[in-house]
Structure 1
Amino acid sequence: MANLKLGLIGIVHEEAKQDFWGTMHKVAHIGYQGIEGGEHLLEGDVSANLKRFHQLGLQVLTVSASREQLQNDLDRLIKNAVALKTSRVTVWWGPCESKEQLLRDAELYNVAGARLAAEGLKLCYHNHDHEFNSSFNGVCALDILAEYTNPDHVYFEVDIAWVTFGGGDPIHVLKKMAGRVPAIHVKDLRSLHAPAQFTAVGTGIVNIQDAIRTAMETGVEWMVVEQDRLRNLTAFETIQVSYLNLKEAGLL
């Protein structure tokens, strides 16, 4: 049972806008091995950018997509993923208005996922809390999406904090979806009784250690640190503390 690789999304995005390469150097120096969201590398000489990025010890973990892009711009998503040498395309949000709407989206994901699979890519769906607190005939929205999508073509990036905030158990979800989760989002919450209040990994109430150990047992490859809003620390302090807390817990 190998440790998961460590990635990062967001948190330092404003710093990266000001100084992309300086920010990426700091991210790699702390110990992160990849980032989700490498579209900046598509500007200019992509090959040279990617070579420099890889020399830092970093990988591009996914290309971002919306449902509309899957319908109307799939060729460009494939082109970008191939150019960035990533293996995943991720949809970050989808509605949960009705079972009928979920079934329509599931069919979209099946069609796009099959096309991506033919190119050696995985389509992932990233959850928030509403996939767990929205249910239809007693079945939560994420379970509906999982049931009606092809496990060979559609995968899930489980966000353990949003699962928790939505009333679910990330350990149960990871076990149930074993084999369909290439990556998890690792973030923490201060409370379950107020609008989502985020805090550095290891300083809140999410059962991070057991979730990560379950991810190791079920074949997950990457854990990706995220914090939707900063609390008391700066962005760089946040990613440093999150890394150190994971390391102190023996999870790195």
Structure 2
Amino acid sequence: MKVGVQLYTVRDELEKNFVGTLEKIAELGYLGVEFAGYGGLTSAEMKSELDRLGLVAAGSHVSLDRLLHDAEGEIRYIKEVGAKYISIPFVGDEWRNENWPKLFETIKEIAPAANAQGITLCYHNHDFELTQQTSGIPVLDAMMEAIDSSLLSLELDACWVHYAGYSPVSYIDKYSSRLPIVHFKDVKKQNEGPLTVELGQGEVDLKAIAQAARKTNAEWLLVEQDFCQKPSLESIANSIQWMKDNLSDMNLVYRA
């Protein structure tokens, strides 16, 4: 598995200096980046910077609204920077509850345009797709049943599966045939809600998740921390060091 980082984690640094932040990520040893915006760079400019830094475009988080309004442009950008995956990162209340079936049908309509260009559409979960149900089962399972694997793959956020009270390893095994990306993060439960923390500082069984993901031949293990208690670049530095110290037997692929 290749090791990357979801750039939402360092969004504060990207706002100040997008390319400079990519340079620091490369220096830390991350092989890939998953986008959550492009900092105003054209696809040609982005590809040039990635090539210069030896970074790989792992994929991109693209809102459902953007896909509904300009799927062609989003797909073209992803192709031109060399990525293979577009992930729907989050859906608002307007798509939940009684509207889950409408979401499933909407994804079915969007996915063929991506597939036709060699891009895989993925869905990134939070906890609510597991704590909420439709058709008597967790929404995430209903989605995977309703939408054929040829149209939709899963970017499993293992941390949110854990936080929802389910086994991330079981979900990795269950959807092993359609799981190219696993989001790798840690969390502490507290009275105020979840606190995302650096790898190894929370309660998630990260080693078991990494082992399960490797067995299923997931392509990417992507570090993500929704909110950092320390400066965000320091946090992703500590997280990748934890991986190197604790997952050394997994033959993970870092930037050379």
Q: Whose RCO is larger (CA < 8 A, sep 6+)?
A: 2
Say whether 1:51 aligns with 2:22: no
* Selected match of 1:81 from 61, 78, 81: 78
Asked if the contact 1:174–1:218 (Cα under 8 Å) also holds between the matched residues in 2, the reply is yes
How many residues end up aligned between the 2 structures?
246
Change (3 A) 1:41 1:191: closer
1:173 deviates by 0.4
Say whether 1:130 aligns with 2:121: no
Cα distance in 2 for residues equivalent to 1:56 and 1:38: 19
Say whether 1:5 aligns with 2:7: no
Residue 160 of structure 2 corresponds to which residue in structure 1?
162
CA displacement, residues 62-96 of structure 1 (integer Å, 9 cap, x when unaligned) = 23322223333211112221222211111011256
Cα distance in 2 for residues equivalent to 1:38 and 1:52: 16
Asked if the contact 2:100–2:134 (Cα under 8 Å) also holds between the matched residues in 1, the reply is no
Cα distance in 2 for residues equivalent to 1:226 and 1:49: 21
CA displacement, residues 145-178 of structure 1 (integer Å, 9 cap, x when unaligned) = 0000010110110001111111111100010001
1:134-149 matched pairs, under 5 angstroms: 134-149=132-147
* Selected match of 2:194 from 179, 193, 196: 196
TM-align CA RMSD: 1.9
- Give the structure-1-normalised TM-score: 0.91
Residue 96 of structure 2 corresponds to which residue in structure 1?
97
Residue 61 of structure 2 corresponds to which residue in structure 1?
64
Change (3 A) 1:137 1:78: closer
- Give the structure-2-normalised TM-score: 0.89
Secondary structure of 1:197's counterpart equals strand
Cα distance in 1 for residues equivalent to 2:10 and 2:52: 20
1:182-221 matched pairs, under 5 angstroms: 182-191=180-189, 194-221=192-219
- Tell me the percent identity: 26
Change (3 A) 1:88 1:240: same
Identify, as 1 or 2, the structure richer in helix.
2
Asked if the contact 1:165–1:192 (Cα under 8 Å) also holds between the matched residues in 2, the reply is no
Secondary structure of 2:3's counterpart equals strand
Which amino acid in the other structure matches residue 161 of structure 1?
Answer: C
CA displacement, residues 154-204 of structure 1 (integer Å, 9 cap, x when unaligned) = 011000111111111110001000111110111101226640111101111
Say whether 1:249 aligns with 2:246: yes
Cα distance in 2 for residues equivalent to 1:160 and 1:192: 18
Asked if the contact 1:41–1:49 (Cα under 8 Å) also holds between the matched residues in 2, the reply is no
Residue range with higher mean Cα deviation, 188-197 or 163-172 = 188-197
Say whether 1:227 aligns with 2:238: no
In structure 2, the gaps of 5 or more residues are none
Which amino acid in the other structure matches residue 25 of structure 2?
Answer: V
1:212 deviates by 1.0
Cα distance in 2 for residues equivalent to 1:33 and 1:68: 29
CA displacement, residues 69-128 of structure 1 (integer Å, 9 cap, x when unaligned) = 333321111222122221111101125633x52222112112211221111000010000
In structure 1, the gaps of 5 or more residues are none
Change (3 A) 1:221 1:205: same
Residue 31 of structure 2 corresponds to which residue in structure 1?
33
Change (3 A) 1:195 1:41: closer
Secondary structure of 2:50's counterpart equals helix
